[in-house]
Amino acid sequence: MITDVGYLAVIMSFAASLYAVGASLWGARRDDDRFVQSGRMAAALTFPLILAGAIGLWFALVTGDFGVKYVAQVSSLDTPLFFRLTALWGSQNGSILFWNLIMSGFIFFAMLRPWREDRPMLPYVTATMMLVLAFFLFINLFVANPFERFAFPPSDGAGLNPLLRHPGMIIHPPMLYAGFTGFIVPFAFCIASLATRRTDNLWLLLSRRWMLVGWAFLTAGLFLGGRWAHDVLGWGGYWGWDPVENKSLVPWLIGTAFLHSAMIQEKRGMFKNWNVFLMLLTFASVIWGTAVVRSGVLTSVHAFAQSDLGPLFLAFIVVMLVWSAALWISRLDTLKSDNKLDSGFSREGIFLLQNVLFLSTALTVFIGTVFPILTEALGGVKITVGPPFYNQVAVPQMAVLVLLMGIAPLMAWGKANARALGRMSIIPLALTALSLGVLVVVGVRQVIPLMLFALSLYTLYQTLIEYGRGAAARMKTTGESLPLALGRLMLRNQRRYGGYLIHLGVVIFAIGATGKGFYGVDVLRNIAINDTIIVGNYAFTYRGLRAVPCEFNDCRTMQASVLVTDARDGSIVGAVFPRRDTYPVQQHTATIADVTGSWFEEVYVILAAWEDAGATASFQVYINPLINLIWLGGLVMILGFGLAFWKAPEPAWAPSMQRARQASHAGVHAER
């Protein structure tokens, strides 16, 4: 009963979304605010209705209603309650419902915001968001219905995919969905601005915080996905240039380009056309990325199975691109820049170069991802592009982006001074040279990693010095201590220093990726029980294999025991217990690694196979230097977003400080 009510609520949400489109556009055409407000309320209503639908499906999952096909597909009598709840997004049909829930949540809060000077844009914002939501609800109801029932229900279900029984995978999809769907609000503001022929920056100012939220969720989703791949897939790393990884990276790159370019329009009134293009492209890449996962046209461990959704998504992408491009082209006369680029050697010039690199990197990843589709369509043979292509083409572009992050804050608006730039670069360059000397002494001799470390270290030191300059100036003016001056400096200019903190996170990530990529070790060795092998600076002694209780009731586990010691002095580093979980019902085997080592160098061991009841076993051993800097970098980036996004209340000391400065200036003028 509750599940059926939920199904009815989703049907009603589809009707409400269509009504919201019609009422909003009719109200705009007739200049009748009653219809506009009616459409607004209908749009807001979709969230509680879809939430009711999700609750209905959750009820079926929790109670084990295997008459619902989706419940039988992703759950079983042995599935723990927690995984029954998270199974809502465990397969295609339920995940689309969850996607609609998150998207309608963003729409709900957008509809509740105060509409004042932007009120003429409201009907077009509503209509745009509701058209997109209606498309996904149409898919949910008519193509991928999670409420569909069996004529003769089974007594038990298949259970949740074993790959999804991990904390990272439980949190990872909601984060990605929030990142993707969060872009719908700035996209709608952009379309509304074009529709109303606005020539100001209002849509950009209204979009910035929404765009930051979507970007932050997408960033968190990317890092959580990397952690899941590291823990569950047995890759020994965090990124494999998998098609589904790439589909999330492309909108992240384009969205990051937009966030940088938007600052130029706000500051100088430039790049108006460019920013509209970036926003339209960001949202188009979101729809493309969704199609990649849900159509099954590309093979990926992350993707859903082959489905009939591909043609629908292709049609939607074409219609959306043609419609939005036509609207944009028809408004080119309203998007003229207020100023021109005075010099390429300026902050605007650096930001423009960054934008070009962001887009070229996104294009590189996009081409590599769709290359199998193109080759199969043109030649009948599917040719897959592997990691070497991305590492050779995309990574160098990203390395230049890291360098530009360090240079951009030093550049003046309009036209920069080369001497000033050189003077401010002396200290970070000296520190970088000193650090490279230390790296050479400890054994880092390869040219390419030294260059990558140099780019990252320069930007790291330059960014830290920017914090130091600001804090020193404040200490001189106010007499505050360093921690107090630094904290108040960041609170007084959260957007700027939050951005710097994001840059620090990127640099930390880049250093970790360089260490893992160039100095990681990967070997596969077979070893007899109680024998020892040497890999790098570590000795691995195989102690045996045994069956242990599985974490879940529907699997069997074989676990190996390996002692890890320092090969140089014999000291114990730790013990690892890699295992293999076999799921007979799902006909799936999960290889779960175990790790030890230090914070700066991870030892990652996989049980690959065994013979003669464990008399011998094969182990895949990875030595991952600096890999933990990758996770730290992601955390710092999210903290940077929090600082840039969070509006700190006016501190109690601010008014008194302002009065003190005014009194000081008044005293100086009186003396003169």
pLDDT of 306 above 80: no
Give a yes or no: residue 348 inside a domain.
Answer: no
Residues 336-354: pLDDT tens digits?
Answer: 888 888 788 888 899 999 9
What's the length of the chain?
Answer: 672
C-alpha dihedral sign at 21, 23, 29, 34: negative
pTM score of the predicted model: 0.91
Q: Are residues 20 and 126 in the same domain?
A: yes
Residue 174 structure tokens: 């909601």
Give a yes or no: residue 62 inside a domain.
Answer: yes
Give a yes or no: residue 309 inside a domain.
Answer: no
Cα–Cα–Cα angle for 330, 334, 339, rounded to 5 degrees: 135
Contact 69, 112 (CB under 8 A): no
Q: How far is CA 434 from CA 310, 400, 428, 448, in A?
A: 54, 21, 10, 18
Which phi-psi region, left, alpha or beta, contains residue 614 (left: φ > 0; alpha: ψ -120 to 50)?
Answer: left
Q: What letter does residue 550 receive in the DSSP assignment? A: -
Task: Specify the pLDDT at position 381.
Answer: 82
Lowest mean pLDDT among 19-33, 80-94, 269-283: 80-94
Task: Specify the pLDDT at position 97.
Answer: 97
Task: Specify the pLDDT at position 637.
Answer: 97
Q: Are residues 9 and 139 in the same domain?
A: yes
Residue 603 structure tokens: 């030892």
Task: Specify the pLDDT at position 456.
Answer: 96
What is the domain range of residue 429? 417-492
664 or 477: which carries more pLDDT confidence? 477
Q: Are residues 566 and 622 in the same domain?
A: yes
Residue 193 structure tokens: 């601005």
Lowest mean pLDDT among 110-114, 161-165, 574-578: 161-165
Burial of 157 (0-12, 13-18, 19+ CB in 10 A): buried
pLDDT of 94 above 70: yes
Task: Specify the pLDDT at position 401.
Answer: 95
Which of 162, 183, 216 is the last residue in one of the domains? 162
- Mean pLDDT, to the nearest integer, of 178-201? 94
Give a yes or no: residue 607 inside a domain.
Answer: yes
Give a yes or no: residue 196 inside a domain.
Answer: no
Q: Are residues 539 and 444 in the same domain?
A: no
Q: How many C-beta atoms surround the C-beta of residue 375 within 10 A?
A: 15
Q: Are residues 35 and 142 in the same domain?
A: yes
Give a yes or no: residue 21 inside a domain.
Answer: yes
Task: Specify the pLDDT at position 656.
Answer: 45
Lowest mean pLDDT among 231-245, 279-293, 296-310, 381-395: 296-310
Q: Are residues 484 and 528 in the same domain?
A: no
Residues 118-161: pLDDT tens digits?
Answer: 899 999 999 999 999 999 999 999 999 999 999 899 999 888 88
Give a yes or no: residue 556 inside a domain.
Answer: yes
> Alpha-carbon distance 77 to 156, whole Å?
6
Which of 610, 628, 646 is the last residue in one of the domains? 628
Q: Are residues 44 and 113 in the same domain?
A: yes
pLDDT bracket for residue 653 (50, 70, 90): very low
In three-state secondary structure terms, 586 is: coil
Give a yes or no: residue 82 inside a domain.
Answer: yes
Burial of 223 (0-12, 13-18, 19+ CB in 10 A): buried
Task: Specify the pLDDT at position 667.
Answer: 41
Q: Are residues 479 and 590 in the same domain?
A: no
Supply the Cα-derived Rg of the chain in whole angstroms: 28
Q: Are residues 542 and 613 in the same domain?
A: yes
Residues 632-642: pLDDT tens digits?
Answer: 999 999 999 99
Q: What is the mean pLDDT of the chain?
A: 90
- CATH number reported for the structural domain that contains residue 563 in this entry: 2.60.98
Q: Are residues 473 and 550 in the same domain?
A: no
234: CB partners within 8 A, 6+ apart = 591, 592, 593, 606, 620
Task: Specify the pLDDT at position 522.
Answer: 94
pLDDT of 662 above 90: no
Task: Specify the pLDDT at position 558.
Answer: 95
Q: Are residues 54 and 125 in the same domain?
A: yes
Angle between helices 347-379 and 272-295 (to 10 degrees): 30
Residues 529-581: pLDDT tens digits?
Answer: 999 999 999 999 999 999 999 877 778 999 999 999 999 999 999 999 999 99
pLDDT of 304 above 60: no
Q: Are residues 35 and 114 in the same domain?
A: yes
| Domains identified in the chain, total number | 3
pLDDT of 166 above 80: no
